Structure 1
Amino acid sequence: MSEEICAKLLTVPEFLINDCFFTDDSVMSLALCEALLESKPDFSDLREQAVAKMRAFGDAYPDAGYGRTFSCWLYFGDPQPYNSYGNGSAMRVSGVVYAANTMEQVKQLSLMVTDVTHNHPEGIKGAEATAVAAFMAKQGADMQAIRDYIDANYYPMDFTLDGIRDSYMFNETCQNTVPQALMAFFESTSYEDAIRNAISIGGDSDTLAAITGAVAECYYGIPQKLREQGISYLDERLLGVLRIFEEKYPPKVAEL
């Protein structure tokens, strides 16, 4: 191994540290997991469950870092969709990937948990693109097939992370978060590498990583040690939801 490679390896920062904590991405993802668990078998009441669970979890975790408009939806008045195309729709959608059995169903479930808030076409598209990419990965599609499908049906995958890294800025829209998060997966070689790719471009890092991670988990699986460290940041309530959800919908765990 060359001195240059050794030096690079020695400067790679730790992936997770003791000071890590969960954010709104995890809270709302698990809220929707609970909504899926408590919905009717045909998911006909999923929209109602999604609204109720997100507002309940919002009450329980008021300081998780929600956006201003979503906070108003969580805490005030009659919760109605507000024509949003924010990336919050994509960050929380991963649970539907496990509940769905077909491509058609994953798209339908994605819509049902999304348009209760993000009913703008771009908000719906961002969530669906994330769910579809992850579902294809879960079904065993290769990376190129997933990329080709996203390119043909959702976003042009005609850029590289190196090409945008110097100019990419914080952005809360689906159209300027989801393609970048998916490219972080497409340029990856492992689950950890995918998350590092997502964080490397800056911006709305927790949401980028949540979107990238949803697809990367289905494709690579999460290494067991990394998974154990990650879930250690959850409190008892959030971990309880995750445990019950994974009993019904087992996660993919990497061999290494």
Structure 2
Amino acid sequence: MQSDSKTLAGLMGVCVADALGVPVEFSSRADRVSSPVETMFGYGTYNQPPGTWSDDSSLTFCLADSMCWGFSLDAIADSFCRWYSDNYWTPHGNLFDIGNSTAKAIERLKQGVPPLEAGGKDEHSNGNGSLMRILPLAYYHKNLDFSQLIERVHNVSSITHAHLRCQIACGIYISIAVCLLNDSAPKSAYLQGIQNAREIYSQDVYANERPHFERVFSGDISSLPEESINSNGYVINTLEAALWCFLNTSSYREAVLKAVNLGGDTDTTAAVTGGLAGIYYGVNNIPQEWIDQIARKDDIIYLARRLNSAMKND
């Protein structure tokens, strides 16, 4: 394992956290308070063995794999279709979890709708299905200027989630991830990340959406009480919850378990948290006993090496 690879740390950070949340997805916060998740286990909601990751990681890996060959929205969209139809980048050769917006968009892709026109754009298309898979784009941070990077983020979100709110959430998340890749500490990465994002989202086209991000842009998300943090599938809530968990903890283990134990959309809240926590704390600080249980661990390690090499040669 490449112990110093921030690429592996991010991918494994998403995946391990996702797998921690899979067995308790849709459980209530009260359930998690009375019976908190403390380590990797299996079965539960989807009756899957320990170390099984969901669509969050599958689509993250599809994106990362596509990036190894260059940047192509058509290729990314095709990889999503292969996952949906042919079980590509699934943990055990079967698809067991998919969000409604993602399923509808992939059906449109299969009918020949271009990638930038496939994702839903209405108010009800603001789930977390693009945020959960967007992290690999942060690894372009040395190859593109910031505005170009965010444009790619918006386009990749739009394959399944084209509403401006989803695009902005993904942009803010990637902006913070880039600061972490540049060795900022969590609070500094958050503050600098939202400042960099604010320069993009101050444009008039985003004016109607900015109020939805008021708590994130306040720079003070970590001070909110837990009862004000929602952990359902709405993209704003997932972004807020992930930042809150990351900023209020001091290790990978603590961050992702806090996310899982919020209940609700446990796998996605944890995966989004885990991407940031993985990058910051490093793969060596992801508990080895959790990594050892991850389905297709060696394939993920190899994917990270390929992506790392591709980013150096881009």
Sort the TM-score into its range (normalised by shorter chain). 0.7 to 0.9
Query: Is it true that 1:53 corresponds to 2:79 in the alignment?
Result: yes
Rate the CA distance shift 1:17–1:24 in 2: closer, same or farther, 3 A. same
Deviations 1:57-78 (A, max 9, x none): 1223363311123212223533
TM-score (norm 1): 0.78
SS at match of 1:122: helix
Kindly state the Cα deviation for residue 242 of structure 1 after the two structures are TM-superposed: 4.9
User: Given residue 122 of structure 1, which amino acid in structure 2 is its aligned partner?
Assistant: R
d(CA) in 2 for partners of 1:118, 1:140: 30
For 1:106 and 1:134, the matched residues in 2 are separated by 12
Which residue type is aligned with residue 108 of structure 1?
A: E
Partner Cα distance (1:64, 1:226) in 2:
26
248, 260, 267: which is aligned to 1:206? 267
Structure of greater relative contact order (alpha carbons < 8 Å, 6+ residues apart): 2
Query: How big is each residue's C-alpha offset from its partner over 1:16-61, in whole Å with a ceiling of 9 and x where there is no partner?
Result: 135321101011100101111122xxx3xx2111111111112233
Structure 1 gap ranges (5+)? 1-10, 251-256
In the alignment, the residues of structure 2 paired with residue 245 and residue 81 of structure 1 have an alpha-carbon distance, to the nearest angstrom, of 27
CA gap of 1:64–1:244, structure 2 versus 1, over 3 A, is: same
Provide the secondary structure at the position in 1 that maps to 2:245.
helix
Q: How many pairs does the alignment contain?
A: 232
Q: Distance in 2 between matches of 1:244 and 1:143?
A: 26
TM-score (norm 2): 0.65
Whether contact under 8 Å (1:47, 1:113) holds in the other structure is yes
- Give 1:179 deviation, angstroms: 1.3
Deviation at 1:208, TM superposition (A): 0.7
Q: 2:105 aligns with which of 66, 73, 79?
A: 73
Q: Offset of 1:138 from its aligned partner?
A: 0.9
Match of 1:26 in 2: 57
1:177 matched to 2:243? The reply is no
Deviates more, 1:23-32 or 1:52-61: 52-61
Shift of 1:241: 5.7
What is the match of residue 6 of structure 1?
none
Is the counterpart of residue 144 in structure 1 residue 187 in structure 2?
yes
The worse-fitting range, judged by mean Cα deviation, of 137-146 and 205-214 is 137-146
- 1:15 equivalent to 2:39? Answer yes
Q: Paired residue for 1:82?
A: 120
For residues 17 and 69 of structure 1, the distance between their equivalents in structure 2, rounded to whole angstroms, comes to 28
Distance in 1 of aligned mates of 2:288 and 2:152 = 26
2:168 equivalent among 110, 114, 125? 125
Q: 2:226 aligns with which of 164, 167, 178?
A: 164
Deviations 1:62-120 (A, max 9, x none): 63311123212223533412113211111001111123315614323322311222111
Aligned to 1:4: none
Deviation at 1:204, TM superposition (A): 0.8
Instruction: Note the C-alpha offset of 1:182.
Output: 1.1
Q: What secondary structure does 1:65 align onto?
A: coil
Alpha-carbon displacement from aligned partner over 1:156-209 (angstroms, at most 9, x marks no partner): 3544587234x6555212111111111111112011111112112222111111
Cα distance in structure 2, aligned partners of 1:119 and 1:53? 18
**3-state DSSP of counterpart to 1:144:** helix
* Fraction of identical pairs, as percent: 20
Change over 3 Å in CA distance of 1:103–1:209 after alignment to 2: farther
Change (3 A) 1:138 1:89: same
Aligned to 2:225, the other structure's residue is in SS state: helix
